[in-house]
Amino acid sequence: MLKGALIGCGFFAINQLNAWRDIENGGGARIVAVCDRDPSRLKAASEQFGIHRTYTDAAEMLDAENLDFVDIATTAPSHRMLVELAASHGLPVICQKPVAPTLDDAKAMVAACQAADVPFMIHENFRFQSAVIAVREAIDRGEIGRPFWGRISFRAGYDVFAGQPYLAEGERFIIEDLGVHILDISRFLFNDVASVTAKTQKVNPRVRGEDVATMLLTHESGAISLVDCSFWSKRDKEQFPQTLIEIDGSEGSLRLEIDYRLIVSGPGGTRVRDVSPPVLPWAQKPWNNIQESVLLIQKHWVECLLRGVEPATSGRDNLATYALVEASYQSAATGRPVDPRTL
Ligand code: NAD
Ligand code: 89V
Whether residue 36 has its Cβ less than 6 Å from ligand 1: yes
Q: Which of 7, 11, 167 to mutate to test the pocket of ligand 1 (most atoms within 8 A of CB)?
A: 11
The pLDDT score that the predictor gives to residue 258 is 96
Pocket of ligand 2 (CB under 6 A): 160, 164, 177-178, 181, 241
Answer CATH for 2-118 from 2.40.10.10, 3.40.50.720, 3.40.50.12780, 3.40.1010.10: 3.40.50.720
Class of domain 126-283+313-342: alpha beta
| Ligand 1 near 35 CB (within 6 A) | yes
Q: Is 70 helix (H, G, I), strand (E, B) or coil?
A: strand
Q: What are the mean pLDDT values of the chain's consecutive 10-residue runs (343 residues total)?
A: 98 98 96 98 98 98 98 98 98 98 98 98 98 98 98 98 98 98 98 98 98 98 98 95 98 98 97 97 97 98 98 98 98 98 98
User: What pLDDT was estimated at residue 60?
Assistant: 98
Q: How far is the CA of 213 from the centre of ligand 1 (A)?
A: 23
pLDDT on residue 138: 98
Cα–Cα distance between 240 and 154 in angstroms, integer?
A: 8
Q: Are strands 93-96 and 261-266 parallel, antiparallel or unpaired?
A: unpaired
Helix (H), strand (E) at residue 200: strand 193-201
> In testing the pocket of ligand 1, which one of 18, 36, 80 has its CB within 8 Å of the most ligand atoms?
36
Q: How far is the CA of 266 from the centre of ligand 1 (A)?
A: 43
Q: Which of 81, 191, 166, 183 is nearest to 126 (CA)?
A: 183
Distance, in Å, from the CA atom of 286 to the CA atom of 247, rounded to the nearest integer, reads 25
| Structural domain spans, the chain | 2-118, 126-283+313-342
Distance 317 CA to ligand 1 centre (A): 22
